[in-house]
A and B are shown apart, each in its own frame.
Chain A
Amino acid sequence: MNLRVEKLSFGYGRMIVGNDVSFTLNAGEVLCLLGPNGAGKTTLFKTILGLVPPLGGTVMADGAAIHQWSRQSLARVFGYVPQAQLGFFPFTIREVVLMGRTARIGLFGTPSARDGEIADDLLRLLNIDNLADRPYTDVSGGERQLALIARALAQEPQVLVMDEPTASLDFGNQVRVLSEIKTLAKRGIAVILSTHDPDQAFVCAQRVAILHRGRLAYAGPPEDVITAAILRAVYGVEVEIVKVESAVGDRHLICLPSFAKARSG
């Protein structure tokens, strides 16, 4: 699935959050969206998903504008991992994951045994099978986050949109989720994720875009976008990009913030 976003303007009613956002994303690619708090990353995602009507521009999937698609067709193509919220009713984690199957269940249907197997596989994949019967309302924020990732994967999406998927995860689960994102991409899923950690972009993304002051200010391969100059311009902090090599030979770029200069802005 090839996703093309063209000159997208987004916001709520008369309040424009962002303008003129264009990018393409091919099957198997991971695009990492960075941007300061309040830059509009979540609104952009919701607009791409058709949850918020666009104020201008189009979103095309394989060359077809998605605005006329039914909710069901959209949900079969786009999986969505929203930022984890407190649930309202105490559905079990397994039931929450099963809800991801809704777009593949008939209007009057309920999840089949096959849907149950898919949900159980995903619970195991994300290491939360031991929580299957626990109420969603009673588990920790990180556990809810993992359940939402499982739910989005249950949609069997071709494009996966993840809003800060690692925000409330512990260190081990962050690594696990990032490596799962790489695996999904290898299987041909296009992934867009937002994050506040530029290091994650080096790890899992082929491309990075930075949403700043309502525009996609920078876009390109991680090495070109995540630079000391750009991070200074966007976040107002001094950063050094360092190349590190582990004992087993993994090479990584990481951002080392300079705390002495950050204070002066």
Chain B
Amino acid sequence: MTQVPDRSVKPVARRSSARYFALAVAALALLLVISFSVGRYPVSANELLRLLWFKVSGTPSGLPETVETVVFKVRGPRVLASMMVGGALAVSGAVYQGLFRNPLVSPDILGVSSGAALGAVLGIYFSLGVFGIQALAFAGGLAAVAAVYLIGALLRHHDPILTLVLAGVVIGTLLGSVVGLIKYLADPYNQLPAITFWLLGSLTGITAADLWAILPAIFFGLVPLYLLRWRMNVLTLGDEEAQALGVDARRLRLVVVAAATLMTAAAVSVSGIIGWIGLLIPHFARLLVGPDFARLLPAVVLLGAGYLLGVDTLARTISTIEVPLGVLTAFIGTPFFIWVLAVSHKGWR
């Protein structure tokens, strides 16, 4: 015992996590500038700074009005939305993976995406307009998870985590078939393309108003998760050990599920279904900073925000038509995920 055999484990770089964060913030800032500077109407870093200074100080920027429109009405909201949605999905994924002690879990596990999809598809089917579609998607996401949680709560005497996951799978499948039915019934010239487009995920046409609409939900989801970061660590030990250490596992799980669902539903309501982020980013973040949520949560926010910002910038620039985000995240995500698996020590870092 006094002599520890060296099992040549790669040390998890915890002590230097501050450096990682500085690096990640710098990379995100750089990506932000790059994202503004590419596209149909490039805005240089200089123009961007002058415009922001103009907003703050009120001195005229001397730039054409088109630049201002691009920055504040078109690209700005879109860039911010990609970061908010990416961060929110990554946080939900990290939290769910911890909660269910399963690294293959993504934010969809409890049916939030299928619920949101059904809401949005119904909104499109009944031609409700953008706000109605988003509101229905948000409500659908929350309702689906509430139903899953209720089923889990009714079926006590079973392993609560397994019950939740199975209920999530079943409800998700059911909602998916209803989405299929509506697609079948929808008008193939107007509604079906809109439904398909929504289900593949996109941030095209996002407005500042959309951002303000989802900001409270993301904020009120993120704050409790960050406050409960230590207890969530303990919850990853499983219910019995967490309870023996003084954590009310059942109640904590309810709070965590509610917070993560709120964030995911808000994100999905404006972006449509974007897979992979919630699965991939937490793995990568754990590889960098370890499993402690105190470090993991900031890491997944930064990485998720940067990842979707980068992917969305690609989506609107690599081709004359927009590439759907869900497609692009899968194309980038699959090899990336395999790489993470290859380099991570025991598979699930």
Contacts and interface: CB of A to CB of B under 8 A. Distances in A.
Asked whether A and B interact, the reply is yes
Interface of A: 13, 46, 49-51, 70-72, 74-76, 78, 80, 82, 87-92, 95, 99-100, 102-103, 105, 107-111, 127-128, 130-131, 133-135, 137-138, 142-143, 146, 151, 155, 170, 172-173
A138 B7 contact: yes
Closest 7 CB pairs of A and B: A103-B246, A75-B246, A89-B291, A80-B244, A108-B227, A72-B246, A110-B230
A91 B292 contact: yes
B1 A133 contact: no
Contact of B245 (A75, A127, A170, A172): A75
Nearest to B291: A89
Contacts of B294: 110
A130 B5 CA distance: 11
B61 interface: no
A103 B243 CA distance: 10
Nearest to A100: B245
B9 A135 contact: yes
Given A49-B244, A51-B243, A100-B245, A90 B12 contact: yes
Contact of A107 (B231, B240, B286, B292): B231
Given A80-B244, A103-B246, A89 B230 contact: no
Contacts of B291: 89-91
Contacts of A102: 230-231, 234, 245-247
Nearest to B224: A108
Given A75-B244, A102-B231, A110-B294, 12 more contacts: A50-B243, A51-B240, A74-B246, A90-B291, A92-B14, A103-B245, A107-B231, A108-B227, A110-B230, A130-B2, A133-B11, A135-B12
B154 interface: no
Contacts of B349: 90
B248 A99 contact: no
Nearest to A126: B1
B241 interface: yes
Nearest to A99: B234
B343 interface: no
Nearest to A151: B245
B290 A92 contact: yes
Interface string B282-298: 00001000111010000
Contact of A70 (B1, B248, B345): B248
Contacts of B227: 107-108
A105 B232 CA distance: 13
A111 B230 contact: yes
A71 B234 CA distance: 13
A90 B345 contact: yes
Interface string B96-122: 001001000000000000000000000
Nearest to A51: B240
A51 B292 CA distance: 25
Q: Mostly helix, strand, loop or mixed at chain B's interface? A: loop
A20 to B, nearest CB: 24
A99 B12 contact: no
Contacts of A71: 243, 246-248
Contacts of B9: 134-135, 138
Nearest to B228: A108
Contacts of A88: 101, 236-238, 348
B73 interface: no
A107 B346 CA distance: 32
A192 B243 CA distance: 19
Contact of B240 (A46, A72, A89): A46
B157 A13 contact: yes
B233 interface: yes
Contacts of B7: 138
B1 A127 contact: yes
B246 A82 contact: no
Interface in B277-335: 286, 290-292, 294
Nearest to B245: A102
B50 interface: no
B342 interface: no
**In the complex, which of the residues A49, A71, A95, A146 has the most CB atoms of chain B within 10 Å of its own CB atom?**
A71
B209 interface: no
Contacts of A143: 1
B232 to A, nearest CB: 11
B229 interface: yes
Contacts of A146: 1
Contacts of A138: 7, 9, 345-346
Nearest to A45: B244
A90 to B, nearest CB: 6
Contacts of B11: 133
A100 B245 CA distance: 6
A78 B243 CA distance: 11
Contacts of A107: 227-228, 231
B286 A89 contact: yes
A50 B229 CA distance: 25
